[in-house]
Chain A
Amino acid sequence: MTDLEIELKALMLASLRGDPASHRALLDRLSRRLRAYYKGKLGVVGRGVVEAEDLVQEAILAIHLKRHTYDPREPLTPWIHAIARYKLIDFLRRNRASPAEVPIDDADDVMAHDDNADAESTYDVRRLMQRLPKGMQCAIEAVKLDGLTVAEAARRCGLSEPGVKVNIHRGLKALAALIARETQT
């Protein structure tokens, strides 16, 4: 097992327990690796840095939303690889690029390189959020953007506390779907 695997898995386990700092550190590390991976892949078909960034964000959202599917008895790296590759194939199909042009190999190492040149993606989350139902919008804004507690958000949005949590989860899922549609060129 590599040092990277041990380090990332420790962050993942802490993040599953609900530790925000670990979650942030994990997503940050992963986003750099994913950026290098997607830039390399999309470069082959002449797609740009911005599209690679869209994909990085889609993958980060997927990792966040699907983190309950990680089995702590297994190593983390293959789980990340599978999501990264799945989102790449999905992106290529949406954009009608022939998968044959982008060689996607099981042996590809998603984690091989690091790239921290953060870029703007093609979409604006705040704008996309306006398309969500009111409850989801309010819950995400309150808890995720303004940093209120769930109890405070419940008061602000006129929802119950479980209602706030459900609305955040559904809202992020809906947001991920909107982003996927938005990045269809």
Chain B
Amino acid sequence: MKTDDLIALLSTNVEPVDRNAVVRTLSVAIIGATVAALGIAFAGLGFRPDLTTTRALIYLAIKLAFAIGIVGLAMIYLMRLARPGGERMMSPFVIAVPFLAVVILAAISLWSAPPLYWERMIVGEEWLECLLSIPIIAIVPFAISIWAVRKAAPTNLARAGAFAGLVAGGLSAMAYALHCTDDSLPFIALWYGGTIVLCTIAGAALGPRLLRW
């Protein structure tokens, strides 16, 4: 077939195009992914029973701020990465800011506590549950994010996959925070931060296979 014939075929009866399609699809996806993460966390683990105490609320707020900060930043990048050439328009290091902030806060909180408490602050009571729950809860949000990015046209598949993983990991951490009763900054930095990074690495590894178009 000649290229001219193909162009003629494609140009017959063209429809107007919705220019907001990418942003809208990704927005719908993030809402769906949030609902899914909250639903799975609630059904599988339940929310923490002491949610009315001040201490619990403060730590819940810290965890949510960390997770929502990551999701917000990651979404901005994902919206760009979903479009051809979007990877040129960004320096991915801004995304390290929430991680750095929580690590610095964790270091300050360790430094101001007696070393006797360090182990409990770092390991907490439910580190294994946290290590397993965040990646597992992230699976459905990850699938939804990948679906949305596939509707667009990423040209750096590993990076787009990584940011889809980061969004999913952040949403999952947000949902898990409603259950988790380990209230210490070192715990959040290590187990929340660590598992979200794991989700990101998994996304980067899966991106080239899942996002090809």
User: Which residues, 27 to 51 on B, are CB-close (under 8 Å) to A?
Assistant: none
CB distance from B170 to the nearest CB of A (A): 24
Interface of chain B: mostly helix, strand, loop or mixed: loop
B153 to A15, Cβ gap below 8 A? no
B22 to A68, Cβ gap below 8 A? yes
Q: Which of A72, A79, A147 is the most central at the interface, judged by chain B CB atoms within 10 Å of its CB?
A: A79
Q: What band does the interface of chain B fall in when counting residues whose beta carbon is under 8 Å from A?
A: 20 to 34
B7 to A28, Cβ gap below 8 A? yes
Query: Could you count the A-B residue pairs with CB atoms below 8 Å apart for me: how many are there?
Result: 120
User: Which residues, 153 to 167 on B, are CB-close (under 8 Å) to A?
Assistant: 153, 155
Q: What band does the interface of chain A fall in when counting residues whose beta carbon is under 8 Å from B?
A: 35 or more
A119 at interface by CB-CB < 8 Å: yes
Interface of chain A: mostly helix, strand, loop or mixed: helix
Closest to B79 in A: A71
B6 to A61, Cβ gap below 8 A? yes
Bound: A147/B8 CA distance, A: 10
Q: Which of B3, B9, B85, B212 sits near A145, CB closer than 8 Å?
A: B9
A79 to B3, Cβ gap below 8 A? no
A23 to B14, Cβ gap below 8 A? yes
Segment of A1-9, A81-89, A95-103, A130-138 engaged in the interface with chain B: A81-89
Bound: A23/B8 CA distance, A: 10
CB distance from A132 to the nearest CB of B (A): 14
What are 17 A-B contacts defined by CB distance under 8 Å? A18-B15, A18-B17, A20-B13, A21-B11, A24-B11, A57-B1, A60-B10, A61-B10, A66-B153, A68-B152, A69-B83, A71-B22, A106-B88, A118-B3, A121-B3, A125-B6, A144-B9
B21 at interface by CB-CB < 8 Å: yes
A20 to B11, Cβ gap below 8 A? yes
